[in-house]
Amino acid sequence: MNKNKIFKALFILLFLSFLIGYIIEETGYYEYKLQNKTILTNESMAKFEKDLKEGKDVTLEDYVVDTEKDYTTSLTRGTNKVSLEVNNVLKKGIESVFKVLGSFVEE
């Protein structure tokens, strides 16, 4: 393969990776996961209300139930970190390309 084809294939691969990461972020998947961590069960709400009536010092962390198991490993955490960094670099690169293209159109 010549260098031009390799460059095109690499650019397309990186662009698709960025696009997938962007779509996952924009669909609210991360926010949905965070929301699930803060849901109170009926029992926790009843206990919270009882403690309030009794005048006890309450904090929200005492009543939140964590229902998710963390199955991540150091490998997945590392690849996620690398993926986020690649997404940031690609986003900045694409924004700068469009800024340059926009300056051509404006002139």
pTM listed for this prediction = 0.37
Angle between helices 74-106 and 3-26 (to 10 degrees): 110
Find how far residue 87's CA is from the centre of its chain: 11
Confidence of residue 42 (pLDDT cuts 50, 70, 90): low
68-89 average pLDDT score: 89
If one compares 32 and 86, the residue with the highest pLDDT of the two is 86
- Give the type of residue at 100: V
Sign of CA dihedral 3, 6, 11, 14: negative
Q: Token digits for 76?
A: 């997945």
Structure-derived torsion over alpha carbons of residues 6, 12, 15, 21, reported in degrees to the nearest 10: -110
